[in-house]
Amino acid sequence: MGLAASVWLAVAVPAGAQTSADVDRAAAVATAAVREAFGVDAEVTVSEPVLSVTGDATLVTRAVPEPSSRTAGPVRFVLYAAGEGPARRIGRLTARIDVAASHVRARQRVAMRSVINPDDVEVVRGDIGRQVFGVLPTMDAVTGVSTRKTLMPGEVITPVALVAHEMVASGEEVVTIARIGAIEVRGRAIAAQSGGLGETVIVVNPDSRKRLRARIVAAAMVEVFHGS
């Protein structure tokens, strides 16, 4: 499935009045922020946008969702513009965000404090429902892990449902994943920090010694942020 971001422009923006091109720009930047949370292969739909900016909306380069934002509902983004010196706040975008992505869900009821077996879960691609912004565990990440709560059939498995444990240790060699569009490139690096599923750590390319920001997606596996 290709990457997509749908924007419905039927809702009026505040008097001021930003153009549809301004809304498109803000929605595209917000889409990038959502993909940073859920992965670059996530299909993001932005609808019912309400944009409020002070200044030139074409300068918007970054959108930051409010803490604890959830999909399948309205999300507020703070918008920042690039320029000389630090990025400056330029306005906000409120829009409904829906996400379709590959995720692991329970095939059957799994009791609290049980160890998840491969037969208990399955990988599907589709709408993830109402979820807090953040990485979704892979099959490798959930298999053999204990549950923090009872899982019901069809439930999307998130880190909140799992007993947390360290998945990358400082000094450990890790597999790196870099995605550009539909292309995925894998390599190796050395972790400079320890962390659990979904956390951001620094890894070092053993050849160039370049330090990269990456998100932990499975045991000894990280996804490198584009442009890091």
Please give the pLDDT value at position 31.
96
- Cα separation of 120 and 152, whole Å? 10
Looking at the structure, do residues 12 and 88 belong to the same domain, yes or no?
yes
**Which stretches does DSSP call E strand in 86-157?**
88-106, 121-127
Residues 29, 70, single domain; the answer is yes
On whether both 156 and 171 belong to a single domain, the answer is: no
User: Which one of 161, 180, 207 terminates a domain?
Assistant: 161
Are 33 and 53 members of one domain?
yes
Q: How far apart are CA 102 and CA 188, in angstroms?
A: 24
The domain tally of the chain equals: 3
pLDDT of residue 40: 82
Domain coverage including residue 115: 101-161
* Residue that finishes a domain, picked among 117, 146, 161: 161
CA dist., res. 190 & res. 211, Å (int): 9
Cβ atoms of 179 and 41 closer than 8 Å: yes
Q: Are residues 107 and 83 in the same domain?
A: no
Residues 123 and 187 placed together within one structural domain of the fold:
no
Do residue 59 and residue 71 come from a single domain? yes
* The pLDDT value given to residue 225: 84
Ordered per-residue pLDDT tens for the chain, 228 residues: 333 443 333 333 443 467 888 999 999 999 999 998 998 889 999 999 999 998 787 889 999 999 889 999 999 999 999 766 677 899 999 999 999 999 999 999 999 999 999 999 999 999 999 999 988 998 988 999 999 999 999 999 998 899 877 889 999 999 999 877 667 789 999 999 998 888 889 999 999 999 999 988 888 999 998 766
SS3 34: helix
Together in a domain, 157 and 170: no
The answer on 13 and 75 residing in a single domain is: yes
